[in-house]
Amino acid sequence: MEPESLPNLSIPYESNTSLKNNVNKSESEIIGDPYQLKPKAEDNRKIESIEFINGPAKLKKKWVDFIGGQSVVDSMGLSKNDVKRQEIIYEMIDTERDYVNDLSIIIELYIQPLERDNIISKKDFNTLFSSIEQIYGVNKELLSLFENRQQENPFVSEIGDIWLTMNEYLKIYLLYCSNYAYALIKLENLKTSRSFSRFIYSQFQNPKSRGLTLDSFLIKPVQRICKYPLLLKELLKYTDESNKDYENLKNGYEKLQTVVNVVNGASKVVEAVYSLIELQSRFNPKISIVTASRKIKYKSEVTISIKKMSSPTSQTVSPIDQEIEKKQRIVFIFNDMLIIAKALSQEPNRLEKGKLKLIEKREFSDVEVDSGTETKDKDPNLINTIEITLNNPEAHGIIFCNSETEKEELLYQLTSSLKEYETNNAYTNNPKVVKRLPSEKVYSMISNMSKVATDIENDLNSKQDEEKLQEQEEEQTKDKEKEDDVPLSFDDKIKIGAIIIGLAVFSLFTLILFFKLCSHLEQYFYYYAPVVIISLFAIKNRNKFIKKD
């Protein structure tokens, strides 16, 4: 029996409400609640109205309505569990149809135009959409199997076999979900491109988008794969163990659970990325802090004094002449860096809301923290303080805590994050957690750095002396090389030239003399030539003459 056709309506609805309300919180926490993993304000619930999805919209309805009404159900003599089971199967098929349609919209409105018009690079394209086209092919086949089963009989007696058949193919979601955090970061970076921003805004205006942004479409595969175990678990609850479908559903659920467990690990990274994107958007001027491996570990509003060293030889005023200037700041501790920001708004919850201005941003490799204990004779102004040293460029700061408890919490967060970073990053310039650094030393470094500047200057002078000695040694080596290959003076060059010219003249004179001698002997040639020839002939044939005799 086919569902009744309904007039073209446009009414808001909450998708999958019936199932969502039937899943308790503990079950959601076990397998990951897909409803928590979604874009926030951008998604606007009003955009999930039923309109223009492949033609006139149809009202979401239950299996009871689909099969012909309550009277038809009553005539079938079904138990409450049987009816509930059919409702879940119907919702499974119906929501799969909507999901496949959403995947087709991503391909039609975004993937195909971007690929055709080369708006972004191939690498960015692959990062952004990953395996969506392959997922579309898998889920289109899954939907086809569902619909064929439903067309055979509106009362679907068995569906677990379909899940067992398609389970292996659903592993394609592992690739997409593991890449999803990188896709979010790439999308955020691409939004800085005017051509790409114009493109996604144009597609957002398309009626087929139903007011959903690209962000909202890209999260749908993550939400869907997390929902499958929920559906199967709910279906198992209303399936009797004697039912031939029970074992298939159970096996299908267990295999899907393995996939979702991996996806849940990726979803934690996604949640961290969402937090970074939200924090990044609060800074004015804009900063870039979003990476897939970064996460916020702690944030607190503190009173702090920071003194920057403009140069190694800079002089500062003594503590008597200058008091430490305290400022209200917000400290953000990440797993790899520290940010100190100024709140630009007066909202009561400035940790979570309102614009921020960046004061300091340092990788942990450039951060040192004093973890020393208080001393009895310490300056009373430095009670419950934490000293930090920032490098590149160099700056020194004191954080003033309101209580010992507050200090211990903040100090723990700083030192534990630094040590974790040091463990995970084997660099030569590892972050340093100072075991003992008296507060008075840092206090004096902030208020009066003249002594430190002098020490640094002495070190520089010492290095300069070493460089001069090294230069002298190099010059001596060059002098020795010059002795082995001394250049000729001008006088030496004249002497050598004169000698060469003299030799050339002497050679020419000898050659002329030779030709003169030859011309003088030419007149005697006719007299002596026959005698020479006969003598040579006689010498050559002397043996013949001797034998004849």
On the CB side of 374, CA atoms within 13 Å amount to 14
Same domain, 250 and 340: no
Provide the 10 A C-beta neighbour count for residue 93.
20
**DSSP state for residue 281 in the 8-state scheme:** T
Same domain, 262 and 328: no
Same domain, 44 and 125: yes
Query: Is 72 within a domain?
Result: yes
What is the per-residue pLDDT for 355? 92
Same domain, 265 and 309: no
Rounded Cα distance between 168 and 179, Å, is 19
Same domain, 328 and 433: yes
Query: Is 341 within a domain?
Result: yes
Distances, alpha carbon 305 to alpha carbons 228, 302, 311, 324, in Å: 53, 10, 19, 7
Query: Is 458 within a domain?
Result: no
Task: Return the bridge partners of 245, or none.
Answer: none
Does residue 212 surpass a pLDDT of 90? yes
Helix ranges (DSSP H) in 153-171: 160-166
Percent of the chain with pLDDT over 70: 68
Q: Which of 544, 305, 331 is nearest to 445 (CA)?
A: 305
SS3 of the chain: helix, strand, coil, percent, to 5: 60, 10, 30
Does residue 178 surpass a pLDDT of 70? yes
The CATH number of residue 357's host domain is: 2.30.29.30
Phi, psi (degrees; rounded to nearest 5) at 326: -95, 140
Rounded Cα distance between 549 and 527, Å, is 31
Q: Which of 111, 164, 170 is nearest to 138 (CA)?
A: 170
Same domain, 88 and 235: yes
* Strand 367-370 with 327-334, pairing: unpaired
Kindly state the average pLDDT of the residues 524-547: 67
Does residue 31 surpass a pLDDT of 50? no
208 by Cβ neighbours in 10 Å (0-12 / 13-18 / 19+) ranks as: middle
Residue 514's domain spans which residues? 490-548
Q: How confident is the model at residue 198 (pLDDT cuts 50, 70, 90)?
A: very high
What is the per-residue pLDDT for 150? 92
Query: Is 468 within a domain?
Result: no
Phi, psi (degrees; rounded to nearest 5) at 448: -145, 105
Same domain, 333 and 206: no
Helix ranges (DSSP H) in 238-312: 245-280
Cα dihedral 246, 251, 252, 254 in deg (nearest 10)? 120
Kindly state the average pLDDT of the residues 197-226: 93
The string of pLDDT tens digits covering residues 153-173 is 988 889 999 998 888 888 889
What is the per-residue pLDDT for 468? 56
What is the per-residue pLDDT for 545? 57
Does residue 2 surpass a pLDDT of 60? no
| Three-state DSSP class for residue 386 | strand
The string of pLDDT tens digits covering residues 367-422 is 988 755 554 445 677 788 888 989 888 888 888 888 888 888 999 999 999 988 88
Q: Which of 128, 108, 330 is nearest to 203 (CA)?
A: 108
Query: Is 328 within a domain?
Result: yes
Q: Which of 287-301, 450-464, 513-527 bottoms out in mean pLDDT, i.e. has the lowest?
A: 450-464
What is the per-residue pLDDT for 469? 63
Q: Which of 81-90, 285-294, 429-438 bottoms out in mean pLDDT, i.e. has the lowest?
A: 429-438
Kindly state the average pLDDT of the residues 105-127: 94
What is the per-residue pLDDT for 232? 92
Q: How confident is the model at residue 58 (pLDDT cuts 50, 70, 90)?
A: very low
Structural domain total, the chain:
3
Query: Is 443 within a domain?
Result: yes
What is the per-residue pLDDT for 473? 65
Same domain, 46 and 153: yes
Q: Which residue has the higher pLDDT, 106 or 179?
A: 106
Q: How confident is the model at residue 22 (pLDDT cuts 50, 70, 90)?
A: very low
Same domain, 27 and 153: yes
Query: Is 453 within a domain?
Result: no
Helix axes 172-190, 122-129, angle to 10 degrees: 120
The string of pLDDT tens digits covering residues 421-450 is 888 875 444 444 444 444 444 444 444 444
Average pLDDT over the chain reads 76
- Phi-psi region for residue 210, left (φ > 0), alpha (ψ -120 to 50) or beta? left
Task: State the chain's maximal CA–CA distance in angstroms.
Answer: 160
Same domain, 219 and 158: yes
What is the per-residue pLDDT for 443? 44
The string of pLDDT tens digits covering residues 489-528 is 677 778 788 888 888 888 888 888 877 777 776 666 666 6
Same domain, 74 and 212: yes
What is the per-residue pLDDT for 308? 78
Does residue 54 surpass a pLDDT of 80? no
Query: Is 345 within a domain?
Result: yes
The CATH number of residue 116's host domain is: 1.20.900.10
Distances, alpha carbon 157 to alpha carbons 90, 136, 170, 245, 520, in Å: 12, 27, 23, 8, 137
Same domain, 88 and 177: yes
Q: Which residue has the higher pLDDT, 524 or 463?
A: 524
**The token pair that represents 516 in the structure block:** 């003169």
